């Protein structure tokens, strides 16, 4: 049957709808521009009172750099952390200056980049990677290197995802938050070095699981946009950020024995009382609470076919095991439909939605479809995938590949820097 070409207006509408569904990829900025410059600038200087060790070899990942997380990130840079990764999907709004680490002139600018630049100016010896985009797109190999994971803010969906990752990687996860109505600053410490400990998902009831998209927080601008102003005061936000910094420091300089572990701290500014409560593991939690095994793959592995890599990692029989599951960080793209002529082409690779995945016979660029695609390779596509080199499957420098035979996940880390992989 002859397929009618869509009119230009249909095409524009389709593109617009597509772009709305696909969050833009994570964009990185790095300070200082040349890696060697960090070592040259150094002077880390003397240890501060209360600081037990030099932190030049530590890596902290902070997800969310608003009023709480931005404060913590800038405080941590003063303590001489060797490398910090800060990620936030938002821009500053017209009234962000009221609560956040910014000025009115920063309205409209990317939060992560403004904070990253400020951190660099405070301590040029620290290496800083600032990402504008979704935390869920931060490469696993980067999270795996972190000594501590920090989360601040308001995105419960992100926090539950991060809890899964912290458990899978065996990391402590610290969250800073505020409860404005009660003038209370909050720190939650999830000791997910043990995957069986309480995770952020353990606190959710079945209704909360259904409403994971809900957001609230202390950015005046965003809350007004969402019709839910909390307008938390700046001193409460910065207190939460400072308490978060203090807990992070214990993990970073070898005093984790003193740190909050699977505990929540509430500091109330009304009555100046502090409350420590245990965070409990819920049997009803929907998170897997599962630690992954890791294997580091050798240089040059990107040219090896997947089947060979699987056999090397799990044994020769693994690729014939009907329980074998293969997944990556990006979704699996089996096919792509051309917008211009409607033709469907085989793709069979991992690709972030919106990524160009080849050309249609008509010449039009093909892009991986939007949300909804699974990251698991469907059983029917496994043999095709086994025959392809990792590179042709979309697995670039620093990418991770997950394998399971039904008894937990083994992750394979490709060598290389994931932050420069996307820029080629
Ligand atoms: Zn849980
Ligand atoms: Zn076409």
Check residue 223 and give its pLDDT: 39
> Which has the closest alpha carbon to 245: 175, 191, 182, 142?
175
For residue 401, how far is its CA from the centre of ligand 1 (angstroms)? 24
Ligand 2 centroid to residue 364 C-alpha, Å: 5
Q: How many A from CA of 373 to the centre of ligand 2?
A: 21
Q: How far is the CA of 193 from the centre of ligand 1 (A)?
A: 13
Using CA atoms, how far apart are residues 261 and 264, in angstroms rounded to an integer?
A: 8
Pairing mode, strands 148-152 and 59-63: parallel
- Gap between the Cα atoms of 129 and 37, Å rounded: 14
Report the alpha-carbon distance of residue 328 to residue 31 in Å, rounded: 29
Is the Cα dihedral 162, 163, 164, 170 positive or negative? Answer: positive
Q: Return the structure tokens found at 364.
A: 């039009």
Return the SS3 of 252.
helix
Q: What is the Å distance from ligand 2's center to 384 Cα?
A: 23
The structure tokens listed for 305 are: 């076919």
Domains of the chain: 24-278 (3.40.50.720), 292-421 (3.10.290)
In this structure, are residues 138 and 276 in contact, taking their beta carbons and an 8 Å threshold?
A: no
Q: How far apart are the first and last CA of the chain?
A: 41
The bound ligand whose nearest atom lies closest to the alpha carbon of 337 is 2
Distance CA 30, CA 28 (A): 7
Distance 190 CA to ligand 1 centre (A): 10
| Proximal ligand: closest to the CA of 162 | 1
Q: How far is the CA of 390 from the centre of ligand 2 (A)?
A: 26
Can you say how many angstroms the Cα of residue 359 is from the centroid of all Cα atoms in its chain?
Answer: 31
User: Residue 97 C-alpha to ligand 1 middle, in angstroms?
Assistant: 35
Distance between Cα 337 and ligand 2 center (Å): 8
Ligand 2 centre distance from Cα of residue 12 (Å): 16
Q: Relative to the alpha carbon of 283, which ligand is closest?
A: 1
Closest ligand, as measured to the CA of 342 = 2
Report the C-alpha gap between 180 and 95 in whole angstroms: 17
For residue 328, report the distance from its CA to the centre of ligand 1, in Å: 23
Beta-carbon contacts of residue 363 (< 8 Å; ≥ 6 apart): none
How far, in Å, is the centroid of ligand 1 from the Cα of 32?
Answer: 38
- Of the ligands numbered here, which is closest to the C-alpha atom of 367? 2
**DSSP string for residues in 350-402:** EE-TT-EEEE-TTSPEEE---TT--SBPPGGGHHHHHHSBGGGGT--TT-EEE
263 CA to middle of ligand 1, Å? 14
- pLDDT for 228 equals 44
Distance 43 CA to ligand 1 centre (A): 42
Distance of CA 191 from the midpoint of ligand 1 (Å): 12
Q: Residue with structure tokens 């869920």?
A: 136
- Where the chain has pLDDT below 70, the residues are 1-23, 35-44, 211-230, 371-372, 422-424
| Residue-level pLDDT at 36 | 65
CA of 393 to the centre of ligand 2 (A): 22
Per-residue pLDDT tens over the stretch 24-69 = 789 999 999 876 655 555 566 788 888 888 899 999 999 999 999 9
């Amino acid at each position: 049957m002859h397929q009618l070409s869509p009119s230009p207006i249909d095409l524009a509408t389709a593109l617009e709808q597509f772009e709305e569904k696909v969050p833009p990829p994570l964009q990185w900025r790095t300070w200082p521009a040349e890696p060697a410059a960090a070592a040259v600038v150094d002077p880390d200087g003397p240890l501060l009172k209360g600081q037990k060790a030099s932190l030049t070899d530590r890596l902290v990942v902070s997800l969310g750099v608003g009023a709480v997380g931005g404060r913590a990130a800038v405080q941590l840079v003063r303590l001489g952390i060797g490398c910090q990764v800060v990620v936030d999907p938002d821009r500053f709004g017209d009234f962000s200056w009221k609560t956040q680490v910014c000025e009115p002139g920063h309205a409209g600018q990317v939060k992560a980049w403004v904070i990253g630049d400020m951190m660099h100016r405070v301590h040029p010896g620290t290496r800083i990677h600032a990402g504008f985009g979704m935390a869920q797109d931060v490469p696993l190999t980067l999270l795996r290197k972190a000594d501590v994971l920090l989360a601040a803010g308001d995105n419960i969906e992100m926090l539950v995802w991060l809890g899964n990752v912290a458990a899978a990687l065996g990391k402590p996860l610290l969250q800073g938050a505020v409860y404005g109505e009660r003038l209370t600053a909050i720190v939650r410490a999830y000791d997910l070095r043990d995957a069986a400990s309480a995770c952020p998902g353990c606190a959710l009831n079945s209704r909360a699981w259904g409403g994971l998209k809900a957001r609230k927080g202390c950015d005046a601008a965003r809350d007004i946009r969402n019709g839910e102003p909390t307008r938390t005061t700046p001193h409460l936000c910065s207190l939460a950020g400072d308490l978060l910094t203090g807990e992070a420091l214990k993990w970073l300089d070898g005093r984790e024995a003193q740190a909050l572990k699977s505990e929540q701290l509430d500091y109330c500014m009304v009555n100046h009382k502090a409350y420590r409560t245990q965070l409990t593991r819920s049997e009803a939690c929907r998170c897997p609470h599962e630690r992954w095994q890791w294997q580091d793959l050798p240089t040059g592995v990107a040219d090896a076919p997947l089947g060979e890599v699987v056999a090397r990692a799990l044994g020769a029989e693994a690729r014939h095991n009907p329980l074998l599951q293969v997944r990556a960080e990006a979704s699996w793209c089996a096919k792509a439909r051309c917008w211009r002529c409607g033709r469907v082409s085989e793709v069979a690779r991992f690709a972030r939605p919106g990524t160009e995945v080849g050309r249609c016979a008509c010449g039009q660029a093909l892009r991986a479809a939007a949300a909804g695609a699974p990251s698991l390779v469907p059983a029917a596509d496994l043999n095709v995938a086994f025959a392809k080199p990792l590179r042709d499957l979309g697995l670039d420098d620093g990418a991770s590949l997950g394998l399971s035979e039904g008894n937990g996940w083994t992750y394979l880390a490709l060598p290389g820097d994931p932050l420069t992989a996307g820029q080629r």
